C-alpha cells in the first residue's frame, strides 16, 4: 500500500471517529434533556378542590402538599383550597412542595372585645369564642397598667373576619422617665460624683488615662455620651486625666432613686 493510500485510510478512520463521537455527544445531551424533562410536571389547578382531592392530585404527580394556613372565605366552602403556590400551569420538579391556603368557610364567629383585659384573659376569651390569639405585640402606653390589652385586630363584633386569629397590642405601662445626659467633660471627678450621687444616679468606673496638659482628675471621657437619653437607672463611667498606672476609683455603691427633677439634668 502506497503512502497516499495509507494517508487516505487514516483520514477516513479519523472522520468516522469524529462522526461517531458527535453522534454519541448528541445522544447523551438528548438523553439528559429528556431525563430532566421527565422529572418535571405541569402544576395543576387545585383552587376550589377539597384539600383531600388536592393532596391526591399532587401525590400522583410526585408532589407534596404543604398547608400554610387556614382562613375564613366566603367564596369557597370549608376544607377547600383557596390559593396555591406555584400557580397552575407552572413547570415544577417532582418532589417539590405545593403550598396551599385552606378555607374555613364563611365566618361564623363574633369577635369579642378584649381591650382592657390581661393577655391571659384575652387568650381564654378568644378560645371560648372560637378564635385563637395570634400576634401579641407590646408597647409602652401612658396611663395603662402593665399587661393590659390596649388594641386588637380585628375590632370587636367585626363583620369580616379573614383569619381565626385575634391579634392584640399589650401595654408595658408608662414609659420610664428619661433625661438628657449632661456634658461632664472638663469637670473634676469628685465634683461630678457628688452631684450624681445627690440625685440618685450611680457612678461605675473611673479609669485614668494619659492626658497631657489636663489636670489630674479632670474628666476627659464619659459614658453615656453627652446629649443621649438616659433613664433613672443609668450608670456613669468616666475616663479621667492621670499618669499611666494610676489606680482607678472604686465603683460607687447603689444609691437611692433619683429625685423627680434632678438639677442640671434636662428631661
How far apart are alpha carbons 145 and 217 in whole angstroms? 45
Query: Beta-carbon neighbour count of residue 151 at 10 Å?
Result: 15
How far apart are alpha carbons 40 and 90 in whole angstroms? 10
Report pTM. Answer: 0.41
Residues 111-147: pLDDT tens digits?
889 999 999 999 999 888 888 888 999 998 888 899 9
Residues 219-266: pLDDT tens digits?
999 999 999 988 888 899 999 998 755 544 444 444 444 444 454 554
Q: Cell match 468516522: residue?
A: 16
Residues 174-219: pLDDT tens digits?
877 788 899 999 999 999 999 998 888 899 999 999 888 888 889 9
CB 222 within 8 A of CB 237: yes
Residues 16-48: pLDDT tens digits?
778 777 777 887 776 666 555 557 788 999 999
Identify the pLDDT of residue 258.
47
Amino acid at each position: 500500500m502506497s503512502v497516499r493510500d495509507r494517508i487516505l485510510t487514516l483520514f477516513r478512520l479519523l472522520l468516522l471517529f469524529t462522526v461517531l463521537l458527535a453522534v454519541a455527544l448528541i445522544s447523551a445531551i438528548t438523553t439528559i434533556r429528556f431525563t430532566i424533562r421527565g422529572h418535571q410536571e405541569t402544576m395543576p389547578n387545585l383552587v376550589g378542590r377539597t384539600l383531600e382531592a388536592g393532596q391526591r392530585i399532587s401525590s400522583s404527580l410526585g408532589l407534596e402538599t404543604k398547608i400554610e394556613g387556614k382562613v375564613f372565605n366566603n367564596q369557597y366552602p370549608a376544607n377547600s383550597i383557596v390559593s396555591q403556590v406555584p400557580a397552575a400551569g407552572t413547570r415544577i420538579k417532582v418532589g417539590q412542595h405545593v403550598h396551599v391556603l385552606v378555607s374555613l368557610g364563611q365566618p361564623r364567629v363574633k369577635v369579642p372585645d378584649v381591650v382592657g383585659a390581661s393577655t391571659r384573659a384575652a387568650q381564654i376569651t378568644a378560645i371560648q369564642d372560637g378564635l385563637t390569639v395570634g400576634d401579641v405585640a407590646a408597647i409602652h402606653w401612658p396611663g395603662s397598667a402593665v399587661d393590659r390589652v390596649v388594641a386588637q385586630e380585628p375590632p370587636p363584633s367585626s363583620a369580616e373576619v379573614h383569619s381565626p386569629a385575634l391579634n392584640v397590642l399589650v401595654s408595658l405601662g408608662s414609659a420610664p422617665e428619661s433625661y438628657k445626659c449632661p456634658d461632664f467633660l472638663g469637670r473634676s471627678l469628685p465634683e461630678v460624683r457628688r452631684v450624681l450621687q445627690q440625685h440618685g444616679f450611680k457612678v461605675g468606673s473611673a479609669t485614668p488615662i494619659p492626658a497631657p496638659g489636663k489636670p489630674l482628675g479632670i474628666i476627659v471621657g464619659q459614658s453615656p455620651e453627652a446629649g443621649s437619653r438616659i433613664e433613672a437607672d443609668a450608670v456613669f463611667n468616666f475616663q479621667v486625666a492621670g499618669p499611666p498606672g494610676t489606680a482607678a476609683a472604686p465603683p460607687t455603691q447603689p444609691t437611692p432613686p433619683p429625685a423627680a427633677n434632678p438639677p442640671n439634668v434636662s428631661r
